[in-house]
Amino acid sequence: METKWISPWEALAQLVALVRDVSSADDLVRTVVLYPPQEGAPQTDEEWGALPEDSPYFIGPGIEELPVDVRDTLADIPDERLVELGERWAEGDEESMFGAEPAQLAELIGELRGLARRARDEGQLLYCWSCL
């Protein structure tokens, strides 16, 4: 599934917080970075400065594994909450939502839920691929 503005650290964390009825926190969606590999990643300002401009550490792509609890939170969203969650998510940070309408967000939540359910049913995880 492709979206242009859902990052695990912001928009997805907001949605997960809404589903769980908790306040959003920076560490609500703790991902595991798969690429670029953390082993061998620059550790100092000098090492960062020595990287070429087109290094994946600067421009991506990035691949992150989402935690099982996030997959299951999304998979467990009941039909009757889709509209309400779309409305509440639309009230969030307008900049990160790019002015999306509540109905569009409710549809997107339904798609995310479907993806999460398929992954859970198959014993798979969810991943986020991103470019910086």
pLDDT at residue 48, rounded to an integer: 93
Rounded Cα gap, residues 72 and 78, in angstroms: 12
CA distance 129 to 60: 9
At what angle are helices 102-121 and 68-75 packed, to 10 degrees? 120
- pLDDT tens column, 25-50: 767 889 999 999 988 899 999 999 99
pLDDT value of position 93? 60
Q: Please report the pLDDT score of residue 42 as a whole number.
A: 92
Q: How far apart are CA 39 and CA 113, in angstroms?
A: 33
Does position 7 have pLDDT exceeding 80, yes or no? no
Name the residue among 35, 18, 44 with its Cα closest to residue 105. Answer: 18
> Model's pTM, two decimal places?
0.84
Contact 57, 39 (CB under 8 A): no
Report whether pLDDT(94) > 70.
no
Residue 44 to residue 75: CA distance in whole angstroms: 40
Lowest mean pLDDT among 21-30, 82-91, 117-126: 21-30
pLDDT on residue 132: 64
- What pLDDT was estimated at residue 26? 67
* 75 SS3 class: helix
Q: Which range, of 5-14, 35-44, 49-58, 106-115, averages the lowest pLDDT?
A: 5-14
* Cβ atoms of 73 and 30 closer than 8 Å: no
How far apart, in whole angstroms, are the C-alpha atoms of residue 79 and residue 63?
30
pLDDT at residue 96, rounded to an integer: 54
* Start-to-end Cα distance in the chain: 18
